[in-house]
Amino acid sequence: MVNPKLKAPDGPPSDVEGIKDRSNFLRGTLAEVMEDRISAGIPEDDNRLMKHHGSYLQDDRDLRNERQKQKLEPAYQFMLRLRLPGGVATPEQWLVVDDLAEKYGNGTLKLTTRQTFQMHGILKWNMKKTIQAIHSTMLDTIAACGDVNRNVMCISNPDQSEIHEEVYELAKMLSDDLLPRTRAYHEIWLDEEKVAGSPEVDEETEPMYGPLYLPRKFKIGIAVPPSNDIDIFSQDLGFIAIVEDGKLIGFNVAIGGGMGFSHGDKATYPQLSKVIGFVTPDKIYEVAEKTITIQRDYGNRSVRKNARFKYTVDRLGLETVIEELENRLGWKLEEARGFKFDSNGDRYGWVKGIRGKWHFTMFIEGGRVADFDGYNLKTALREIARVHKGDFRLTANQNLIIGNVADEDKAAIESLIEKYGLTDGSRYSALRRGSMACVALPTCGLAMAEAERYLPGLIDKIDEIADEAGLRNEEITIRMTGCPNGCARHALGEIGFIGKAVGKYNMYLGAAFDGSRLSKMYRENIGEEEILNELRVILPRYARERLDGEHFGDFVIRAGIIEATTDGTNFHD
Amino acid sequence: MLQLQVMNSPFNEEQTELLNRLLPTLTETQSLWLSGYLAAVQSSTLQAAPAVEERPAPASVPSIPKEVTILFGSQTGNAQNLAKKAGKSLEEKGFQVIVSSMSDFKPNNLKKVKNLLIVVSTHGEGDPPDNALTFHEFVHGKRAPKLEDFRFSVLALGDSSYEFFCQTGKDFDKRLEELGGTRITPRVDCDLDFDEPAAQWVEAVLSGLSEGASSSQSPSTASVSAAAPAESVYSRSNPFRAEILENINLNGRGSNKETRHLEISLEGSGLTYQPGDSLGVYPENDPELVDLLLAEMNWDPEEAVRVKEETVTLKEALTSHFEITVLTKPLVEKAAKLSGNEELHQLASDSAQMKSYIDGRDLIDLVRDFKPWNSTAQEFIAILRKMPARLYSISSSFEANPDEVHLTIGAVRYDAHGRERKGVCSILCAERLQPGDTLPVFIQHNENFKPPENPDTPIIMVGPGTGIAPFRSFMQEREESGAEGKSWLFFGDQHFVTDFLYQTEWQRWLKDGVLSKMDVAFSRDGDEKVYVQHRMQENSREVFEWLEQGAAVYICGDEKHMAHDVHNTLIDIIEKEGGMSREQAGEYLADMQKNKRYQRDVY
């Protein structure tokens, strides 16, 4: 019997629903418009579809006005995001991606907060060549963006290597098996011959997604306590590994998290997922698939701002969703098991894993791999990739692990780290290592303010304040985004900045160090001077008044500086 | 004869006195000649005046008037203008004149011509201009007729900084003599500053023709060429100081190129132009270069010097009146005469050495390399060429932008002989010219680069780099006039992102259907260099279809490589798609050229 509460919101479908509907399973006119030589851009409708192929059109916003005067179109370029389940790449793959960034991109790589590579600045006519080169190294960009299940995250913390392998395989399986089935990607980018014959039947082409795919993006992650490095509560669907006697026995299931919201719109808010039960490892695909179909059927296809699964859960009610999930599964979830997280950050430096292999975690500021003035990071990592026999793991905090280094190979890697000064102190303060920033200006079309380009300079100044207060080695997470969409999971930073306008930010405080509590707005629309003035008061106070082991995010609440956000629905209160 | 008085005539006292003294002395022939002369002058100058009174029948029929044919070969329009001007002068003196471009002249009629004047320019490596090609070939070929009782003279235009200075004029001069002709007056070779020598040539031609003419010359009432539109008082010799309205770089950041887009006000000048016309600009020299020269010669910048009728400071003279950035053979020869430097004398007498020396060097090199100089500044500047005007294809339509003219100018910078060299006018525009400043300009009409008269005729435009300029003018004009013919533009440059000149305008015209088709080639974006001719090749079938539909083809831009390659590509396409032999394809294109369906503005 169908629960009467189970209903999608009324209202006409949004424009994107129409575009998907007319697209013939994500094809649209992409093949044609990519051939056009008069513009480096593509029409908006095709750009919407392009996302499902892992890319979208951007332009260099720094040049927008200037180029308009010069009678030139905007400096259109594509961002290309890879699908890299769990953030694991081989040294060979690293070298291919590194080379593509030089050859077709802007010469840099962005390690994203969802553990994958992003390339910027690719011109239209180089897209096919780039995607084909990615394909040649056994990687792809399918579903890296768009209204589908995105890159599946999983723990990268090398301490846990005894079950990392097992968890990683599950993440990869989820990512592979939840892919769209349309051949559009292969036809458009890889020159696959169109299969002749009968027209495609919806149910056969996309048995799970259907022709309209999902109302909005869908994110899955797997965490292994005590590390919450992937911010499990920010995912639409999270699996929390339960380990007993060194063995993986199953996962707690959490549903309905998500970071994005819109300034000034209280119907939108960041939300943390809720744990709804426990399943054994063999069941997680089934759980993922059924959860996705609930969102497919009842998500909001009318208003995209309210289309994420978190709103579906909050609207239908958690109990209703659990009941429907169990209906669709045909069995009941077990009771959730106990677990404890201690941090959502990374641990830096060398760690010896359970199987005797070494892992080196290094901080990558803003996730940007580039050759900077006096700091040739990109070159260094290329040289490491050339001698490295293990793997690379991209962390959810935009950092990098040089993983699975044998005893006898460690010295070679270490000497390269030394040679290029990859761990020099000035780039390595505790505050800096706990920082994240999204791309924002100049390429992101959504950004209202700087993030990646600005945060390092701001941290220089905050570091001075922290130093004076004696907090030099204190870990506090700082996250900055150029807009409220939350690519750097701003609402889970102990200090969060969300761009409002160029040079202006809303400042948030009170998130938990382990990612279990959202922040709340502390000051609205303030510039650098006001930000620093606030911190000149709060940070010394924290240094003086904190309890033993008390994290900054907890302190500001205990001290009454900010009220705790107990649920996404009271984030704006 | 009636005694003229102030009361019974329109003349004033001085005039009546002069006339009364002159008229009684005239013979019958003289007075007859004079009456006809006055009538002809009247008919050619007073367009709006009421019909000229019928000329009284002369008492006796004079000998048949002398006919003169003036043929011009012109790329930028200078030769054409001079030919027309000469024609006018001759008509005023009572000659029957036919003025025609060489391409419009039937070569077989050459036999019938008794007096031929040639006004022709030279391009590139001594090449004839486009509309002189066929005639040049004919005269030099086996089919050229023996010319008996044939008189001619050549006015050659050129630029003495090129090795083959006035070569085409020299060719005609030599060949016409070989064919049996005699010279009315020796050939005159004009450098960039051609006005004076050209006027002298016309004088010499006139007196030469008069000497050989039959005892009397009858005035002619042959109708003068169609009325020209009201001409502005501003011209090549009297340029208009036009205000700069806008000056922007069209190339995006990171480009290897700099292309200036200038918007210039013509308000109050009365100047108008048609698509395909050019704007002449008189630039000033780079002040740094002038200072360098002054310092090198130890000259006082404030020293007063005479330039023509004026007295100006030496600095002003070197800045605005003379060319200092180019060395020419005549200049080096004259400099040698001023100098006691033995090496310079040697250089001036060795043409091979001279050729290699003047290439890429300027006056500063010369004065540095061959010290000492003992002549005065006045003596020295007397050997310099007058500052020549630069001609730029206009990139706007007057209809679309009344009282404005737009230019598209590529900044020229390069290193030669250890110094950075800069284009005089392009770098003035790129580095010093601000909105609000003024430039001396004039309009150079170009009859050899005009959109088809029939608005339905399809057009194919090939204009890479700054060659795009006239096509922007064409498009603006078509948008204004609502011309229905199909249009197809081929454009190319180095990089798509930074060098797609006027990109958003083409996009809009494509969207609105003003431009039907556009193909672009960016040579440095891919692994292989791709140029406009490759895009034409890729579309060869359709290009040929358009040609068969009567399309007119326009090429603008670099002569040396692009125009040559595109020309050959067109022949390739006609050969391949038309199933013709190479020779037939060449004739097909030559035929198009003759019918003004293949026009080039190359430089």
Rounded CA gap, A222 and A153, in Å? 6
From A110, A368, A378, A487, active-site residue? A487
- Residue B394 pairs in a beta bridge with B407
Cα separation, B113 vs B98, whole angstroms: 10
Q: What letters, b where the CB count within 10 A reaches 16 and e where it falls short, cover A393-424?
A: bbbbbbbbbbbbbeeebbeebeebbeebebee
Other Cβ atoms closer than 10 A to B442 = 22
Q: Which residues of B touch A (CB under 8 A)?
A: 248-253, 261, 496-498, 500-507, 510, 518-520, 525-526
- Rounded Cα gap, residues A272 and A262, in angstroms: 17
Residue A126 Cα, gap to closest chain B Cα (Å): 9
Distance CA B18, CA B34 (A): 15
**Which residue is catalytic, options A483, A489, A500, A520?**
A483
* Range B67-227 has CATH code 3.40.50.720: no
A438 an active-site residue? yes
pLDDT (tens digit, 9 = 90+) per residue, B234-256?
Answer: 999 999 999 999 999 999 999 99
Largest separation between any pair of C-alpha atoms in chain A: 75
pTM of the model: 0.83
DSSP string, B85-110: HHHHHHHHTT-EEEEEEGGGS-GGGG
Helix, strand, coil percentages in chain A from 3-state DSSP, rounded to 5: 35, 20, 40
Q: Which residues of A touch B261 (CB under 8 A)?
A: 71
Q: How confident is residue A161, by pLDDT bands cut at 50, 70 and 90?
A: low
Q: Which residues of A touch B248 (CB under 8 A)?
A: 69-70
> What is the pLDDT averaged over residues A485-514?
95
CATH architecture classification, B287-381: Up-down Bundle (1.20)
Give how far A482 is from chain B: nearest CA, Å.
25
Given a cut of 50, the residues of chain B with pLDDT beneath it are 43-62, 64, 214-229
Residue spans of the domains in chain B: they are 67-227, 240-283+388-444, 287-381, 459-602
pLDDT tier, A329 (very low <50, low <70, confident <90, very high otherwise): very high
For residue A506, the Cα-to-chain-centroid distance in whole angstroms is 21
Full strand arrangement of the beta sheet holding A391-394:
A88-89, A391-394, A400-405, A358-362, A349-352
| Cβ contact, residue pair A68, B504, below 8 Å | yes
Cβ within 8 Å, pair B252-A75: yes
* Separation CA A123–CA A61 (nearest Å): 15
Q: Are strands B310-313 and B115-121 parallel, antiparallel or unpaired?
A: unpaired
A71·B251 Cβ contact <8 A: no
Q: What pLDDT was estimated at residue B29?
A: 67
Q: Which residue do the tokens 């435009």 mark?
A: B461
What is B459-602's CATH topology?
A: Rossmann fold (3.40.50)
- Segment A558-567 mean pLDDT: 97
pLDDT, position A196: 56
DSSP per residue over B454-509, as a string? STTS-EEEE--GGGGHHHHHHHHHHHHHT--S-EEEEEEES-HHHH-TTHHHHHHH
Cα of A290 vs its chain's centroid, Å: 23
Residues listed for chain B: 603
Of A37, A69, A72, the CB nearest to B520: A37
CA pair distance B584, B83, nearest whole angstrom: 33
Q: What is the largest CA-CA distance in chain B?
A: 90
**Helices assigned H by DSSP within B141-194:** 167-178
Question: Which two three-digit tokens encode residue A529?
Answer: 């001077």
**Nearest in space to A47 (alpha carbons), one of A78, A83, A69, A11:** A78
Q: Give yes or no: A219 in active site.
A: yes
Greater confidence (B41 vs A41) lies with A41
Spatial strand order in the sheet of B517-522: B517-522, B487-493, B459-462, B552-557, B598-602
The whole-number pLDDT of residue B215 equals: 39
Q: Is the Cα torsion angle A505, A508, A513, A517 positive or negative in sign?
A: negative
**Could you check whether B67-227 and B459-602 share the same CATH topology?**
yes
Quick one: pLDDT at residue A195? 61
Q: Judge: B504–A72 Cβ closer than 8 Å, yes or no.
A: yes
* Domain covering B240-283+388-444 in this structure, CATH number: 2.40.30.10
- A169: its two tokens: 């395989």
Average pLDDT, stretch A354-380? 93
A154 noted as active-site residue? no
Residues in chain A: 573
- Token pair in block for residue B239: 């340029």
Q: Which residues of A touch B (CB under 8 A)?
A: 37-40, 63, 66-73, 75, 123, 125
DSSP bridge pairs for B521:
B492
How, if at all, do strands B115-121 and B67-73 pair?
Answer: parallel
Q: Which residues contact B437 (CB under 8 A, 6 or more apart)?
A: B243, B244
Q: Of A522, A421, A543, A526, nearest to A472 (Cα)?
A: A543
- Minimal CA separation from B515 to chain A, in Å: 13
Any idea of the CA torsion for B68, B73, B77, B83, to the nearest 10 degrees? -10
- Spell out a b/e string for B564-580, using b for 16 or more CB atoms within 10 Å of the CB, else e: ebbbebbbbbbbebeee
**Residue B262: which of B399, B405, B393, B403 has the closest Cα?**
B405
Beta carbons within 8 Å of B590's beta carbon, 6+ residues apart: B134
- Using CA atoms of A286, A290, A295, A297 in order, give the dihedral in degrees to the nearest 10: 150
Joined together, the tokens standing for residue A215 give 């109302």
Tokens of B517: 């088709």
Phi and psi dihedrals of A235, rounded to 5? -90, 150
Inter-residue contact B276 to B450 (CB < 8 Å): yes
Banded pLDDT at A426 (limits 50, 70, 90): low
Query: pLDDT of A507-559, one tens digit each?
Result: 999 999 999 999 999 999 999 999 999 999 999 999 999 999 999 999 999 99
The residue whose two tokens read 């006609």 is B574
Amino acid identity, position A15 = D
Q: What is the pLDDT of residues A285-309, one digit of tens each?
A: 999 999 999 999 999 999 999 999 9
* B65, B21 Cβ separation under 8 angstroms: no
Mark out the alpha helices in B52-94 (DSSP H runs).
Answer: 78-92
User: Does A75 sit within 8 Å of B497, measured CB to CB?
Assistant: yes
Query: Contact, B278 vs B75, CB < 8 A?
Result: no
| CA distances from residue A367 to A360, A426, A455, A463, B362 in whole angstroms, order as listed | 16, 17, 12, 19, 54
Q: Which of A378, A444, A479, A489 is catalytic?
A: A444
A421: left (phi over 0), alpha (psi -120 to 50) or beta: left
